[in-house]
Structure 1
Amino acid sequence: MSTNDVLRYTAFSGDPAGGNPAGIVLDATGLDDAAMVAIAAGLGYSETAFLTAPPEGLGEPGRAFTLRFFSPLAEVSFCGHATVATAVALAERDGPGELVFATPAGTVPVTVDEAADGTLRATLTSVEPHTEEVAPQALAEALAALDWPAADLDPAFPPRIAYAGARHLVLAAATRERLAELDYDFERLASLMRELDLTTVQLLWRESDSVYHVRDPFPVGGVVEDPATGAAAAALGAYLREYGLVGTAADLTLHQGVDMGRPGLLGVELREGDPRVRVSGTATRIA
């Protein structure tokens, strides 16, 4: 298979020049891991999604799939933007409604709704999230790799590792200017992330109680920065709730990709009594 057989969509934006591009192979039957890595590397996006038949009994025929994600370097346990893009691509082909994906991180249901103007919006529900503390020496190394003085962190947000399908180190900047000045040591940060089994580093700045600006270095995937990161958005939602930074039920808006010239919008929903996190966004095909 060549990259000509891969669909190209951008997620979390209605503009092909915004959001986060993803490759999608709607039928990856017969492709082995090496072939999928090669396709992802040839495409060059942060992730490419590959669909195959679902495990027996997963869901309604034609609405359930096995979904795997590959960066240009390796498989990723979960990718939110590629999930949203894939769900929209399937909805364009088969109609909106309920989908379910068996991913390496677990079962991820997705609902695709169609607005009155025809816009499709996908909402994924994460696997159950958790957070954990980060060792002081690991935090010091992360800040050194980022060239962020510890004094530039927002003390209201404790540095933590958050998981909602993939692991992300959450660090909050005290100012928007600090977040905008991202110029890090690629190899040094990648080495630490491999040691901690991190997918991205979730950098954030709080504009208001419900609006956040985020950036996600992704050197372990061979990409300097991810333009819009659904898995990190889910992890961030769980983190914010666990540490009392938002309510147990909340609707949040994340701006990402602005500093890269690829603006995107991610919706994060927390529901009372449900530990899982919902992440939503649009997607559009790239010609």
Structure 2
Amino acid sequence: MAGVEVVNVFTCRNAGGNPCPVVVDAAGLDPAGMQEVARQHGHESGFILPAEDEAHDFRFRFFVPNHEMEMCAHATVGALWLLAKHGRLPASPVRIATASGSVAGFVSATENGTVSVEITQPAGRVVPLSPEQAGDVLAALDVSRETLADLPLHNAVTSRVKTLVPMRDPEKLHALVANPVAVEAICRRIGSTGLYPYAIVDGEARVFEARQFPRSSGYPEDAATGIAAAALAFGLLHDRTIAADDRPIRVYQGRAMGSLSEITVRLGFAGDRAIGCLLGGEVAPTTGLAQAIAEDGRQ
């Protein structure tokens, strides 16, 4: 197997985060081999390939155990962090080709060696669900409308469509028990890649909690989902839950899994029009069992 390095991405106070296997030199892997890496590790996995044109520095591919993905934010952040640690980055910004389009990565290092990574996402699109669609989403989550905040349910997208479900409070959010079969069925009907229920923790401070139940990744829940957090930021802006400015939005995810993660989103504006966002978070080397699996894969 190709050399696999595992990092935790979107960690919170150097803990939690979403484990991400990355192959820094994936030129020798075909798609079946890439998917096999994701299957063996049981997580979204990132693969770094040479650029195919002069407009980019690298090409990234992403797999979950069940299929290839067009874009994976935490794998992109983790891959850039590893490239920086290996001293293989060109000057920032780094130009990355993905199946969902071009992404720019901004990588900086502090004097103590900490590497900070942010990546771009395009302006989000937000489409409210119909009453029938909303009812089917609530059935998949086994909740009633009384558990929701007084906000609409949306499909929102920057790179991959996520369904935003506004819960009344964090306690109800963390009590959710989703039915994976029902989640997959409703996601396919409404053109979504995952349900993203969220709750407002502190609206003025722009702090939110969220959970991600993916459509068909091969596991029931994600500890951190950057693409969903970016979609949420545009949903919040659409609903006027947040003001139209570039102050950081902090999304905490994974608490119900015992792996608390922190994702930061900063919206960008041209005048009063949102034109995209920067998505970032902390990265840490994986220790323990996940690292042992990674090292096993290198042998």
TM-score, scaled relative to structure 2: 0.88
Contact 1:173 1:203 in 2 (8 A): yes
1:108 has 2:103 as partner: yes
Q: Which of 190, 199, 204 is matched with 1:205 structurally?
A: 199
One-letter identity of the residue aligned with 1:193: C
**How many angstroms apart in 1 are the aligned matches of 2:256 and 2:68?**
27
**CA offset digits 1:241-267 (Å, max 9, x no partner):** 122221221321111112211111111
The AA in structure 1 aligned to 2:66 is L
Deviation at 1:142, TM superposition (A): 1.2
Q: Determine if contact 1:125/1:278 at 8 Å carries over to the other structure.
A: yes
* Equivalence for 1:240: 236
Partner of 2:293: none
Give the C-alpha shift of residue 15 in structure 1. Answer: 6.7
Helix, strand or coil at the partner of 1:189: helix
Structure 1 residue 98: Cα displacement: 2.4
Given candidates 149, 172, 194, the residue that maps to 1:178 is 172
Query: Is 1:229–2:225 an aligned residue pair?
Result: yes
Shift of 1:159: 0.6
- Equivalent position SS for 1:275: strand
Are the equivalent residues in 1 in contact too, given 2:9–2:284 (CA < 8 A)? yes
1:88 deviates by 0.6
Aligned partner of 2:212 in structure 1 is: 216
Q: What is the identity, as a one-letter code, of the residue corresponding to 1:93?
A: H
Task: Note the alpha carbon deviations across 1:53-105, whole angstroms, 9 max, x for none.
Answer: 1131224xxxx111111111011121111111111111111267321211111
Aligned to 2:82: 89
Q: Does the 8 A contact of 2:12 with 2:260 survive in 1?
A: no
SS in 2 for 1:12: strand
The equivalent position to 1:26 in structure 2, one of 18, 24, 27, is 24
After superposition, the Cα gap between the structure-2 partners of 1:254 and 1:104, relative to the gap in structure 1 and judged at 3 Å, is same
1:152 positional shift: 0.9
Q: Amino acid of the residue matched to residue 247 of structure 1?
A: A
Identity between Structure 1 and Structure 2 (%): 27
- In 2, distance between residues paired with 1:235 and 1:194? 18
What residue is the counterpart of 1:80 in the other structure?
73
Over 3 Å counting, the alpha-carbon distance change for 1:71 and 1:167 in structure 2 is same
Q: Give the whole-Å Cα distance in 1 for the aligned partners of 2:98 and 2:190.
A: 21
Q: Normalised by the size of structure 1, how large is the TM-score? A: 0.92
Pick the aligned partner of 2:9 from 8, 11, 19: 11
Distance (whole Å) between structure 1 residues aligned to residue 101 and residue 211 of structure 2: 25
What residue identity is the alignment partner of 1:282? Answer: E
Question: Cα distance 1:120–1:213, how it changes in 2: closer, same or farther (>3 A)?
Answer: same
CA distance in 1, matches of 2:134, 2:60: 33
SS at match of 2:71: coil
- Given that residues 194 and 220 in structure 1 are in contact (C-alpha distance below 8 angstroms), is that contact kept between their aligned partners in structure 2? no
1:13 CA displacement: 1.2
Q: Partner of 1:94: helix, strand, or coil?
A: coil
Q: Which residue of 2 aligns with 1:254?
A: 251
Residues 77 and 105 in structure 1, CA contact (< 8 A), matched pair in contact too: yes
Gaps of 5+ in 1: none
Query: Residue type matched to 1:29 in 2?
Result: A
1:118-169, CA deviations, whole angstroms, 9 ceiling, x for partnerless residues? 21111111023211122322221111010011111101x3110000101100
Q: C-alpha distance in 2, partners of 1:37/1:137?
A: 36
- Deviation, 1:17, is 5.0
What CA distance in whole angstroms lies between the structure 2 residues aligned with 1:77 and 1:129? Answer: 16
Where does residue 50 of structure 2 map in the other structure?
53
Consecutive unaligned residues of structure 2, counting only runs of 5 or more, are 288-299
What is the CA-CA distance between 1:31 and the residue it aligns to?
A: 2.3
C-alpha RMSD over aligned residues: 1.7
Separation in 2, partners of 1:228, 1:38? 22
